[in-house]
Amino acid sequence: MKIGILQPGLVPDVILEEVGDYDTQFHALLDGHGFEFETWKVVNGDFPDGPDAADGWLITGSRHGAYEDHPWMAPLEELIRAIHAAGKPLIGVCFGHQVIAQALGGKVEKSDKGWVIGPTLYKYPDSTRLVNAWHQDQVTELPPGAEVVASSEKCRNAAILYPGHAYTVQPHPEFRRNYVDSLIEHRAPGVVPAELIEDAKTKLEMPLDSGDVGAQFARFFKEKRL
């Protein structure tokens, strides 16, 4: 099964060599599930011909906001709607989570809850999962037909299911400790409040449930169910 990765952002050069780009992080997360991958860096204007270029689709994170005006944003939203209409399985993470909601009729805004960074606890109907996060924006209004399947203390719409078509999450199951550590060192100072940085540092050694989320992604790609 071929998974098309749509990449609307680039890992900062200062940490790229150490942690890899967004797409390679997802290769690692989904390793062992029998997928092959092809990446389109939509942030650079590189787009597939259409939904049939892959069997399933994944939209990664980005430093950009879904509500920002970029030349590639409208074509990305158009492609999302085409993938959705074609019934191809679609997964979105962080920015991907947000832009899918926006493209399908929801709303994305900077949250009055502020930044969420580092290991964060998410409540699902039958479990809780600790997953890395790094965001300030959130989905504040759901698209028609969307269902919330996980929430956190600061993020009500943390995982959204579009039955039979798409599944999206606000946190970053692909982020390993070294990546969050590098973000804290190179991106957080002067942007994220100091107390949140220190709190995240105290949690970096905690065991994560990222593998469970990766398995959930794999199941959704293959069976369109959680």
Q: Known catalytic residues?
A: 94, 172, 174
Nearest to 216 by CA among 187, 181, 182, 174: 174
**Containing H/E element for 188?**
none
CB within 8 Å of 112: residues ≥ 6 apart: none
Query: Which spans in 118-190 are helix H?
Result: 177-186
Amino acid at 187: R
CB 57 within 8 A of CB 88: yes
Burial of 202 (0-12, 13-18, 19+ CB in 10 A): exposed
